[in-house]
Amino acid sequence: MGNRKKNKITGNKTISASEIGQYYFCSNAWFLKKCGFKPVSPKLDIGIKKHEELGKIISDTEKEIKKSNIFALIGTIFLVVSLLILFFEVVI
């Protein structure tokens, strides 16, 4: 009996809502994770890679939206100035 190592939960002892879902799905996996064990799985590696790819797509899309908003603003300013020149014969 002296050879048995006692497992201790490491880190934060507060349980989050997502951890409740993890526990419900697999209580053993939840416990091992809380004890500091890292899961090893080829499927997990594939999932992590896919999430990284999707994160990059989202980040790139957000940057492109910002650029397009700037160009739309510039276009609107040119339109307003052009209309002022056309209708009121404003000379800049």
Segments making up each domain of the chain, as ranges:
1-38, 40-92
Higher pLDDT, 84 or 64: 64
65, 68, 70, 71 alpha-carbon torsion, rounded to 10°: 180
pLDDT at 90: 65
Q: Classify each residue of 41-76 as buried b or exposed e, where b means 16 or more C-beta atoms within 10 Å of its C-beta.
A: eeeeeeeeeeeeeeeeeeeeeeeeeeeeeeeeeeee
Q: Quick one: DSSP state of residue 11?
A: S
Rounded mean pLDDT, 33-55: 88
2 pLDDT band (50/70/90 cuts)? very low
Angle between helices 17-25 and 27-34 (to 10 degrees): 130
